[in-house]
Chain A
C-alpha cells in the first residue's frame, strides 16, 4: 500500500514560513477550505493553519542552537484520531494513506484533537469543524496538473527544498532512501502511532587544519626576502675576522 508523507530536513530549514502561508493560500480556496481567520485585523488575531513552524533554542550561550521546526499532521500509519471519531468523519485513505476529515460528518466534538499526541489538528472556530493537513490531496491527485506540480503547496514553495514528498512504503523512493541514509526519524515513536512524516537531523561540517598545512615551502612570503641587504645593515662579515 502506498503511504504518502513528508520528510522535513531540519538541517536546511531556516524557518521562513513559506510552507505555512503557501499551504494557507492553496487550501483556503481549495477542497479543504476555507481556512478562516478570527479577528484578522484586530487584537489577538488567530486562524486555521494546517502547517505551522515552531522555533526553539537548545543549549546555553554561546553553545546555542536555534531550531526551526515545521509541524503538520504526520499522517500516522495507525492514526489515533480515526478510532476516536464518533461519526466516522476522520478517516485514512486506503489508496495513499492520507488522513482526512469529512466536514459533512464532523460534529466538532474535538475528540480527535485530544487523541492526537502531536497537536496537529486545527479546529475551525467559524465552521465548527475539525480541519487539518490533507497533503494537498486536491493537488497531488489532480491529473490535469503537470506531474512536477502534483505535490503539496508547501513542498513546491519551500525555498530550501527542506520538504521532500513521496511514498515512504516504496523502498526505492527518494523519501525512503533519504530516511535510511540521512538518519530520518519519527516524532515520539513510543506512542505507537507510526507517523509517516519523518524529520532529518542537523548535521555539522567541520574543517580540520593540520599543522603542516601552515608550514610550506611554497609560502609566498619567501618571495619577499630582499636580494641584498641595505648597506647600513651590519653582519658578521662586516665586524668579525
Chain B
C-alpha cells in the first residue's frame, strides 16, 4: 500500500465542500458535506454552527447510507385498479398525473366541505408551510407530530412560564451547579445537550437523573433515582412541599415575577370563585394578562395594586377585601394544596425513599439560595425599575417525553414549572432560559376558529388550525359543545390540545366520528406502524370497507422519501427528497433553532441532485396551492404566484407588506434588515454564505429575565416577534384553567361542557397542580396487569427510524424487552427467553433481556427498531421483523368506555397528549414449542416500482465509485 502520509484525500477525484443542515433527526445541526465526484464522501459537523459547534452524532455521520438507501422512492405511484389497499400494487405515473388527481379531488372537497380533507404530518419542521396550506385550503383538520410526542411539555410549561424545553428554551448548563433530568428526554435536544452536559460535568456540576431506567444520559448521572412511571407529579409536588416547608423558595422572585402574591377570590358561592380579584381600570383587549390585580400590603395590612413601588406583600394568609370578598394569595392556595403531598406520601407512590426526596429538595433549595450568580448586567423591568445586575439561582431542569407521555402529564409538568418558579430559576443564569420567539404571553395569542362557521367552502379557515385557548369561548365546538375537528382537538374532550391529536385521526375517520372524511394526506408520518397506537387495529381500519365496497377512508395520499409501512396503504404515493436534495427553512414562524442569546433560523440548500423523479413536499404544496387557487399562493389574476418553494420563501410575506416572512435573516431589499423587512431577492445566497444559518445576538441586557425585561419586550415588539410588551408573570396559579373549571361548574357565562364531560373538566382543570393516577391505571385491572411498559429511543436512532440505514441497523438490529431479573425469577423465565407481553389491547411475543438498570415494576424496549416484514427496503428475513417488535400493538389509542364517553382518546384530558407511557402489561414465558420469532407478524410488504431496491450480499461504500457499482 501507498504510505498514508504521502498524499491527501482531497487529491482523489473531484472534491466539493458544501454546507447545509442535517435532518437525520429533529436537532438540525449544521453540517459540512464533502463530495467526491458528485457522491457524498463525508458529512461532518460544521464547527462554526451555533447549534452543534462542529460535532455530529451517529445518525448524522450515517447520512450517506440514508441518501443511498434501498428504501428510496423515486417515482409517483398510483394504486392499480384491482389492487387492494395494503398490497403495494402500484403503477408509476407522472407528476402531472399525480397533480391532476389531487387537483381534481381536492378542488371538489374545497368547494363542498373543506374539512373532508385532512392533512397530518410527522416530524416535518415545516409547519409554517403545512399549517399555512391547511388554513388557506380551509380545513381545520391539520396537525403534526407534537400531539403524540410531547405536547404536554409544550403546553404545561407554556401555560405556566411562557416557554418550554427544547426549541422553546432549556437548561443553562454553562452556569448551573445542579442539574435534574426527569424521565426520558435525550432526543430533545440531542447534540447540543450532549455538548453542554459534558462541559457541565467537567466543571464540577452535579447531575441527578430521575428515571425508571438507567440508559442514555442517565448513565453518566452522579445519582440515578429510579421512579415508577407516571408518578413524576407526586415527586414534584413533594419537592414543592418540602421547599415551602423549609422556606427554601425565592421569595423576592415569587413576589415580583409570578402571580404568587396576587389575591384570588376564595368564595365558592360566587361565579368568580377562584379568579383573581381585579379592580376596575381601562384595559386594552389583548392576549396578555392585565395587571389590574391586588396584593395584600404587609405594612398597611390592606389590599393594594400589585407591583406598587416599595410595597412588600404577604404570600401567605387569608384576607377580606373592603367589599367583603374573601381572598387568599395564590401562594397560600399552593401551600394548602401541597400540604398533604409529603415526601412520605410520595414514597408510597413513586417508590423513592422519603429521605431521598427530602435530601434532593434540600439540595435544590440550598443550591439555589446559597450559590447565587450575580452578573453585572444592568436591565430595567416591566414596571420601570432599574436593576444593577442579573441574579441566577443555579439549579436547572430538563424533561421531555418521560413526563409528557402520560395522561396526568400536563399537571405534572405544571408542577415542574412551579418548582422552577419557586426556586427562582426562570430565564436566569444557571437555570432555565428562553429561546426566541419565546417567552410568549400565557397563553400565546393565536386561536383556533371558535365554531363550525369558521369552516366555509372555498374560503380560508377563520382562525389558526392550531392555537392556544385561554378561556372556554376559545374552544372549537358546535352548538352542542361537540368537536368540529376530526381529531376532536380544542373540544371539551381535550380543550388545550395545542398540537392536535394526530393519534386519533385515523380511528375517528374510520368510525365517522365526528364525521367521515374524503382524503387523508400523510407526510412523513408512519401511521401504519410506529406512529400509531394500537397499530394492528389501525392497519385494519386503513383497509376496512363500507358495505358498498368503498374504503371507509376513501382516499389516502402518502408523501415520504422511503418505503415505510404506511406506503403500502396509499392510493397515491408522492416520492419526497432526502434532506441532502432540498431547500428547507427552519422558520421563526414554526420552531426555529434559536439560542439563549438570541434568535437563530437556518436553511437547507441541496448538496446533491435529486434522485429519480422525487420532488420536495414543499414544492408539491406550493404547486398544489397554485392549482387550487389558494389565496396566499396566487396573484390577483388567480395565477400561481411562486415558481417553487425557494421562490416562495424569498417572496412570501404573512400579509402584503408585513415584512415578516419564512426567514428572519438578511431581509430588506439589500439584506440590511433582520426579522422584519421587505423580501430580499438574494436572501438564499446570503444564508449560503453564512453556513446556512442566521444568528442575531441580543445585547447582554436583553438576554435574561425576558418575561419582565422592558428593553427586551419592546425590542421583540418592534421586530414583530410579539404583539404586546406586557410582562409575562409566571402562573403559579392558573386562571385560564380555572375558567374552564367554572364552566364545568355552571358558573361561566359563555360556553359550557356537555354533561358527560363536566366532571372530567372540573377535576382536571385544576388551577393548581395535583397528582392523580394515570387514566388507564384507573380503568384496567392492575392486579391482572401489574407492570408498566415503556419505550426509549437508542441514541443512534433518536428521533429517526433508520432501520434502512446499513450502518445504523448494525448497531440496533432488533430489540429486546428489558426486565429486572427479580421479575424474571418470579415469573419463571430467564435472560434471553421468549416471552409474551400482554395488555388488555393485544399481546406481543419477543425476547427478553435481564437488566439491573430498570426498576422492577417496569419493562421496556427500544422503540421503532421492529419493522414490518419487507418494509424499508429490508429483506423478509431481516432481524427487524423476525426478532424486532413494536410495543405500540399493546397501547390502546382509546380508553375503555367510561363516564366521559365510549371512545375517549387514551390521552391527557387537558391537552390530548398521547399517553404512550400509561400502558399496563403482564409478562409470561412463551411455550418452548412456539416459533422463535416475534408476534404479530404481517404478510411481507412488497417493494414498489421505482424503489432503489435491494442490494447484494456485500456493500462496500467508496465515495465516487458506489453509484457506478450499483448502476445508480
Total A-B pairs, Cβ < 8 A: 266
Which residue of the partner chain, among A11, A14, A228, contacts B217 with CB atoms under 8 Å?
Answer: A14
0/1 per residue, B162-199, Cβ < 8 Å to A?
00000000000000001000000010001100110110
Asked if B822 CB lies within 8 Å of chain A CBs, one says yes
Bound-complex Cα distance A12 to B199 (A):
9
Bound-complex Cα distance A145 to B32 (A):
14
How far apart are B786's CB and chain A's nearest CB, in angstroms? 17
Q: Chain A: which residue is nearest B351 at the CB level?
A: A62
Asked if B584 CB lies within 8 Å of chain A CBs, one says no
Q: Is the CB of B316 within 8 A of A224?
A: yes
Q: Is the CB of B1 within 8 A of A224?
A: no
Q: Is the CB of A14 within 8 A of B810?
A: no
Q: Is the CB of A44 within 8 A of B879?
A: yes
How far apart are A91's CB and chain B's nearest CB, in angstroms? 11
Q: Is the CB of B45 within 8 A of A25?
A: no
Q: Chain B: which residue is nearest A161 at the CB level?
A: B198
Answer whether A61 and B856 are a contact pair too, CB < 8 Å, given A29-B960, A41-B804, A41-B806: yes
Q: Chain B: which residue is nearest A230 at the CB level?
A: B318
Asked if A184 CB lies within 8 Å of chain B CBs, one says no
0/1 per residue, B758-801, Cβ < 8 Å to A?
00000000000000000000000000000000000001100000
Q: Is the CB of A144 within 8 A of B8?
A: yes
Answer whether A17 and B197 are a contact pair too, CB < 8 Å, given A64-B224, A206-B206, A209-B363: no
Answer whether A209 and B362 are a contact pair too, CB < 8 Å, given A15-B219, A42-B878, A160-B194: yes
Answer whether A36 and B796 are a contact pair too, CB < 8 Å, given A14-B216, A41-B804, A221-B247: no
Asked if A16 CB lies within 8 Å of chain B CBs, one says yes
Q: Which of A15, A26, A31, A66 gathers most chain B CB within 10 Å?
A: A66
Which residue of the partner chain, among B61, B822, B951, contacts A40 with CB atoms under 8 Å?
Answer: B951
Q: Which residues of B contact A161 (CB under 8 A)?
A: 55, 195, 198
Answer whether A25 and B62 are a contact pair too, CB < 8 Å, given A207-B367, A214-B366, A221-B247: yes
How far apart are B260's CB and chain A's nearest CB, in angstroms? 11
Q: Is the CB of B298 within 8 A of A26?
A: no
Count chain B residues whose beta carbon lies closer than 8 angstroms to a beta carbon of A. 104
Q: Is the CB of A66 within 8 A of B873?
A: no
Q: Is the CB of A138 within 8 A of B820?
A: no
Q: Which residues of B contact A134 (CB under 8 A)?
A: 4
How far apart are A142's CB and chain B's nearest CB, in angstroms? 5
Asked if B58 CB lies within 8 Å of chain A CBs, one says yes
How far apart are B78's CB and chain A's nearest CB, in angstroms? 26
Answer whether A219 and B247 are a contact pair too, CB < 8 Å, given A64-B224, A66-B218, A207-B367: yes
Q: Which residues of A contact B214 (CB under 8 A)?
A: 64-66
Which residue of the partner chain, among A37, A141, A213, A221, contacts B4 with CB atoms under 8 Å?
Answer: A141
Within B862-879, which residues are at the interface with A (CB < 8 Å)? 873-875, 877-879
Bound-complex Cα distance A46 to B205 (A):
40
Q: Chain B: which residue is nearest A209 at the CB level?
A: B362
Q: Is the CB of A45 within 8 A of B4?
A: no
Asked if B226 CB lies within 8 Å of chain A CBs, one says yes
Asked if A85 CB lies within 8 Å of chain B CBs, one says no
How far apart are A194's CB and chain B's nearest CB, in angstroms? 23
Q: Which residues of A contact B257 (CB under 8 A)?
A: none
Answer whether A41 and B807 are a contact pair too, CB < 8 Å, given A34-B958, A159-B57: no
Q: Chain A: which residue is nearest B873 at the CB level?
A: A41
Q: Which residues of B contact A145 (CB under 8 A)?
A: 8
How far apart are A21's CB and chain B's nearest CB, in angstroms? 4
0/1 per residue, A189-223, Cβ < 8 Å to B?
00000000000001011110100011010011111
Q: Which residues of B contact A86 (CB under 8 A)?
A: none
Within A7-64, which residues are at the interface with B (CB < 8 Å)? 11-18, 20-22, 24-26, 28-47, 49, 57, 59-62, 64
How far apart are A44's CB and chain B's nearest CB, in angstroms? 6
Q: Is the CB of A209 within 8 A of B224?
A: no
**Which applies to chain A's interface (DSSP): helix, strand, loop or mixed?**
loop
Looking at the complex, which of B125-133, B473-481, B725-733, B847-855 is the stretch in contact with chain A? B847-855
Q: Which residues of A contact B951 (CB under 8 A)?
A: 40-41
0/1 per residue, B55-90, Cβ < 8 Å to A?
111111110100000100000000000000000000
Q: Which residues of B contact A22 (CB under 8 A)?
A: 44, 56, 58, 61
Q: Which residues of B contact A159 (CB under 8 A)?
A: 52, 55-57, 190-191, 194-195, 198
Q: Is the CB of A45 within 8 A of B810?
A: yes
Which residue of the partner chain, among A37, A158, A216, contacts B806 with CB atoms under 8 Å?
Answer: A37
Q: Chain B: which residue is nearest A205 at the CB level?
A: B206
Q: Is the CB of B853 within 8 A of A61?
A: yes
Q: Is the CB of A142 within 8 A of B45?
A: no
Q: Is the CB of B879 within 8 A of A43?
A: yes
Asked if A71 CB lies within 8 Å of chain B CBs, one says no
Q: Which residues of A contact B201 (CB under 8 A)?
A: 11-12, 205
Q: Which residues of A contact B42 (CB under 8 A)?
A: 25-26, 29
0/1 per residue, A103-140, Cβ < 8 Å to B?
11000000000000000000000100000001001110
Q: Which of A's residues lie within 8 Å of B, judged by CB? A: 11-18, 20-22, 24-26, 28-47, 49, 57, 59-62, 64-68, 100, 102-104, 126, 134, 137-139, 141-145, 148, 153, 156-162, 202, 204-207, 209, 213-214, 216, 219-224, 226-228
4 nearest CB pairs, A to B: A160-B198, A159-B194, A220-B251, A17-B58
Query: Can you give 30 A-B contacts (C-beta < 8 A)?
Result: A12-B220, A13-B220, A14-B216, A15-B795, A16-B58, A25-B61, A25-B807, A31-B9, A36-B956, A37-B957, A40-B806, A41-B70, A41-B874, A42-B875, A43-B882, A44-B879, A46-B810, A61-B856, A157-B56, A157-B61, A158-B55, A161-B195, A205-B206, A207-B206, A207-B367, A214-B246, A220-B315, A223-B298, A227-B298, A228-B301
